[in-house]
């Protein structure tokens, strides 16, 4: 792959700027690493000393309480990871085998995988270029073209005959999508809205935390997230009945009893262990500091790339992003690939946005709308180092 002298000079300048942000003149700069600057060791050792290291323990309860306080949700349920949280949320919304679930093609594969776990099929609708998230206008147009009422008055896909059982937008890289408009469209067709907020802890839209616009929202606490539990997830909801059932089926659907093992439905071993929750609690205590730190870094990137005529992917009006992963938009795939090659060869970890879900072998036959924006973004978006700086 050839890189022009002009591009090489620009890429070298960008590489040096990124190094300067992390005060690492020679070391490898990763994309995103966890920071452990608080009471992580103290809380984890306390959990070990308590002997409650599995899915029952004080830190699991504390974690759920902290998630309610942070997001404003009435209920939070701790899970082993974000994918399990989304799987359960889909079950709670009533998604069944043979159903269809609207989502975006520009997302991490876990979004589509969780839909497939239920026996449903993802249906891909395009994103907006500015949010990288599901487009409410394209969603409205798509649903108006495919949905008809069946003999029972239920909305079904005129082409497949299947029920559209849910809609799952994803807040890409922590950038809030237009969730209020997406909710309006879903309400028109009585489609449950589940927000994949895996990447957006701390992000708000119109002063409402992501995950609060739908009946259910889910988060991830994987090792590469703004706040990590090593592995972990959470479901949030304001619906008490959904919250109770979420806790029940994530603990193998075991009925309460002093000694008997009785399970009243198919359940899942999806509860977050107390060890992970201890780590998460210590991390959540530092969330405000992390968000401030990451927004400061985003501000430096914004100013730098503006002066070099490269688009920095920024939050839209009325949105406040956690800037989990900062991203830039290059002019075409050739420049994207040249930039990826140069930076990675020179000790800076950068990554392209994901391959579109509809191009993956297991989802290739799923229905899609016009995906012009997603395809355009796939050719151009690159993530750049975004860790909390020491």
Query: pLDDT of 135-185, one tens digit each?
Result: 999 999 999 999 999 888 888 999 999 999 999 999 999 999 999 999 999
What residues have CB less than 8 Å from 356, skipping those under 6 apart? 105, 106, 124, 371, 374, 375, 378
Contact 279, 118 (CB under 8 A): no
- Confidence at 4, pLDDT banded by 50, 70, 90: low
Has residue 1 got a pLDDT over 60? no
What residues have CB less than 8 Å from 362, skipping those under 6 apart? 116
- 243-273 pLDDT, tens digit per residue, is 999 999 999 999 999 999 999 999 999 999 9
Burial code of 160-187, b = ≥16 C-beta within 10 A, e = fewer? eeebbbbbbbbbbbbbbbbbebbbebbe
- Confidence at 43, pLDDT banded by 50, 70, 90: very high
- 76-104 pLDDT, tens digit per residue, is 999 999 999 999 999 999 999 999 999 99
Among 195, 223, 229, 220, which residue's Cα sits nearest to residue 209?
195
Output the six-digit token pair for 32. Answer: 């995103």
pLDDT at 333: 97
The widest CA-to-CA distance across the chain, in whole angstroms, is 73
- 10-22 pLDDT, tens digit per residue, is 999 999 999 999 9
Q: Can you give the residue ranges of every domain in the chain?
A: 5-35+287-358+366-384, 40-285
| Domain 40-285 of CATH type 3.40.640.10 | yes
pLDDT at 15: 96
Q: 5-35+287-358+366-384: which CATH number, 3.40.50.1110, 3.40.50.300, 3.90.1150.10, 3.20.20.370?
A: 3.90.1150.10
- 339-354 pLDDT, tens digit per residue, is 999 999 999 999 999 9
Q: What does the mean pLDDT of the chain come to?
A: 96
Output the six-digit token pair for 56. Answer: 């029952």
């Amino acid at each position: 792959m050839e890189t022009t002298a002009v591009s090489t000079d620009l890429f070298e300048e960008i590489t040096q700027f990124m190094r300067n942000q992390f005060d690492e003149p020679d070391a490898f700069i990763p994309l995103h690493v966890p920071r452990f600057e608080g009471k992580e060791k103290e809380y984890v050792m306390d959990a070990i000393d308590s002997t409650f290291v599995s899915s029952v323990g004080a830190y699991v309860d504390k974690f759920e309480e902290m998630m309610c306080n942070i997001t404003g949700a009435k209920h939070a349920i701790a899970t082993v990871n974000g994918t399990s949280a989304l799987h359960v949320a889909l079950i709670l919304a009533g998604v069944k085998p043979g159903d269809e679930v609207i989502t975006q093609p520009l997302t991490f594969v876990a979004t589509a995988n969780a839909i497939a776990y239920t026996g449903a099929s993802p249906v891909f609708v395009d994103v907006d270029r500015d949010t990288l998230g599901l487009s409410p206008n394209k969603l409205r147009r798509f649903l108006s073209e495919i949905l008809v009422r069946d003999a029972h008055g239920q909305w079904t896909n005129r082409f497949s005959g299947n029920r559209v059982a849910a809609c799952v937008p994803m807040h890409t890289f922590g950038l809030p999508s237009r969730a209020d408009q997406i909710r309006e469209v879903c309400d028109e067709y009585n489609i449950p809205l589940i927000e994949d907020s895996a990447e957006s802890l701390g992000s708000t839209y119109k002063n409402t935390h992501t995950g609060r616009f739908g009946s259910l929202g889910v988060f991830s606490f994987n090792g590469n997230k703004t706040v990590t539990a090593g592995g972990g997830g959470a479901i949030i909801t304001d619906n008490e009945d959904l919250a109770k059932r979420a806790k029940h089926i994530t603990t193998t659907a075991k009925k309460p009893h002093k000694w008997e093992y009785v399970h009243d439905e198919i359940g899942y071993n999806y509860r977050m262990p107390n060890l992970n929750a201890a780590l998460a609690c210590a991390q959540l205590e530092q969330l405000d500091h992390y968000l401030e730190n990451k927004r400061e870094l985003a501000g430096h990137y914004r100013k730098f790339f503006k002066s070099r005529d490269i688009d920095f992917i920024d939050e839209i009006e009325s949105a406040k992003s956690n800037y989990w992963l900062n991203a830039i938009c290059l002019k075409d795939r050739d420049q994207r690939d040249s930039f990826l090659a140069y930076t990675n060869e020179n000790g800076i970890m950068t990554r392209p946005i994901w391959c579109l879900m509809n191009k993956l072998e297991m989802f290739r036959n799923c229905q899609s709308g016009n995906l012009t924006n997603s395809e355009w973004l796939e050719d151009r978006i690159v993530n750049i180092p975004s860790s909390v700086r020491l």
